Amino acid sequence: MLCVTGNERSVAELVRRIESAPEVGLHEVRLDLLEGIPSGVCGRLPGREKLIVTCRPKREGGGWDGAEERRVRRLREAVEAGVGWIDVEGSTPGELLEELLGMPGPTRRIVSAHPAAGDGETALGVLARLGAHRAHVLKLALPIEDAADLAALRDAAAATRRKVVAIGTGPAGVLSRVAYRAFGSEWTYVAADERSRTAAGQWTLAEARRAGLDRQAPRVYGLLGGPAALRSPGPRVYNALLSRSGQSAAYVALPTSRPGPVLELLRAEVLAGLSVTMPHKEAVRDLLDEEAPSARRAGSVNTIVPVAGRLVGHSTDGAGALGALGGPAAVAGRRVVVLGAGGAARAVARALLDAGATVTLAARRSGRAAAVAEALGAGWVEWSEAAALPFDVLVNATPLGADGVSCPVADAATLAGRVVLDLVLDPPRTPLLRAAAQAGGRAISGLAHWAHQGAAQMRLLAGLALDPADLLRAAEAPAGGEG
């Protein structure tokens, strides 16, 4: 069930929002955000049986900074008006809280908590504390900065054995909002529109409907990576394409430093599959049950598909690089320098070697470059020597350039007449690519690689036949421009 919320400042705006979507299961009324709360306002609102009325204090992230007695009086008026629900914080002073919970009438009660980041109390501890009160539903909105913590949130909700709404707030917690049924939640909160979001990570009603959240549990795919996962075009582009495919499905970013708990969510079928990006492409290998030939040859994984209860790793990075460079024929017999020695560098170097290129690796950690080169049968040089090498193609598989300032090549003149592929996605036009273009080289954006590897990846994950050119156009379009 969907609960539509908003940040309306006037009663008129609130009424318009409720009347614009009468078919949804619930509407949240944020009294704390209204500019002045007219006496008896809840009795004048349409669809009272579908309303969740709350008046959240500033100590829990809301807008109310008045006296507790006045705040509780507003909620008491909502109960007297016969609204469907009230949401009252467990931190409300004891006598006032018990008064609200004990009032007669059909209004159901939610007891909630909205801890601040760094509070230190566990999800299980918060829900146990809320569970001491008489309530129909326990609601926890817990800040999530690492997606691995979503596993503990889900476990806590299950252990409570009460009706709950368990939300991981923030961009890293989106999975709990989209796969809310898998987290044991009775409903999920969605914003009326883009301007009405009341919390980070909240989807809009339109986004939720496109993914089918109002009809059934969607298949949810995720992007497992570091903080840069939040800047990937994947969620924006794939969610648009998945909705057009007719699937009830969604794609979310899962930034984490601990991939293990996220893979447990995949095993538990909370997730339907994973894309994997830096820095986890090699680390996840030990957490899988099986590797496809593409992953074994690449020595890294960028796609994880569950098959009959087993997690199988694949790699589409090498195929993506070849596609971006124009195919195997475009690199056969060419001299290629690959900068980096991580998972993406391994996969790209393997594919280039298989296509007949001569490959030399260079990395800031020379020992790492030497080990990877030996495993692949490629050459390697010290990082400081890479610029002096004769080459036809340069591939940057390091994060250098993601800050918009650093460039892995000091002398732009060495790029004249060369092909340069930079795997950095954001910014799409890195200092290296700008230098290559200015020197007369051919500059290929990381988005081209992303589009080619992504088309192969989504075929494995969701069975979609996507054209890399369409993916590239969607990725390059401004946010909101993909339809």
292-302 as b/e, with b when 16 or more CB fall inside 10 Å?
bebbbbbbbbb
**Backbone φ and ψ of 123, nearest 5°:** -60, -40
Q: Which amino acid, residue 158?
A: A
Query: Is there a contact between 429 and 360 (Cβ–Cβ < 8 Å)?
Result: no
- Helix 468-476 and helix 446-462: axis angle, to 10°? 120
Query: 58, 139, 163, 281: which is the annotated catalytic residue?
Result: 281
Annotated catalytic, 281? yes
3-state SS of the chain is: CEEEECCCCCHHHHHHHHHHCCCCCEEEEEHHHCCCCCCCHHHHCCCHHHEEEECCEHHHCCCECCCHHHHHHHHHHHHHCCCCEEEEECCCCHHHHHHHHHCCCCCEEEEEECCCCCCCCCHHHHHHHHCCCCCCEEEEEEECCCCCHHHHHHHHHHHHCCCEEEEEECHHHHHHHHCHHHHCECCEEEECCHHHCCCCCCCEHHHHHHCCCCCCCCEEEEEEECHHHHHCCHHHHHHHHHHHCCCCEEEEEEECCCHHHHHHHHHCCCCCEEEECCCCCCHHHHHCCEECHHHHHHCCCCEEEEECCEEEEECCHHHHHHHHHCCHHHHCCCEEEEECCCHHHHHHHHHHHHCCCEEEEEECCHHHHHHHHHHHCCEEEEHHHHHHCCCCEEEECCCCCCCCCCCCCCCHHHHCCCEEEECCCCCCCCHHHHHHHHCCCEEECHHHHHHHHHHHHHHHHHCCCCCHHHHHHHHHCCCCCCC
Which residues are known to be catalytic?
281
